[in-house]
Amino acid sequence: MRLSLRWCIFNVRPFPDDHNRLPGCCSSRLPTFFAPLLRLDFLFFCCLFLLLFLFLLFLLFFLSLFFLLSFFALVFFFLL
């Protein structure tokens, strides 16, 4: 039975000379080379860290905007 390329990519070992691979599955070196980058756990943690980074970036942006506006409000209050 022929296996799909997606199944092969997600189940292949990271080294091309690995003998635990199923016969006829992922015979080229390209899916084998990119296999660790295409695994689900790697993609999950990349997305998780990306979301965390974006959350911290937005938090920093809003906090700096809040402090900047409060500083201008304080300066405006003392100028009056």
Query: pTM score, two decimals?
Result: 0.43
Full residue range of the structural domain in which residue 74 is found: 40-80
Q: How many domains does the chain have?
A: 2
Task: Output the pLDDT for position 1.
Answer: 43
> Are 37 and 59 in contact, with CB atoms under 8 Å apart?
no
Q: How far apart are CA 75 and CA 80, in angstroms?
A: 9
- Tens of pLDDT along the chain (80 residues)? 455 554 555 555 455 554 555 555 554 454 555 666 666 677 788 888 999 999 999 999 999 999 999 999 998 888 87
Of all helices (H) and strands (E), which one includes residue 53? helix 40-79
**80 shares a domain with 46:** yes
**65 shares a domain with 31:** no
Task: Output the pLDDT for position 78.
Answer: 85
**55 shares a domain with 26:** no
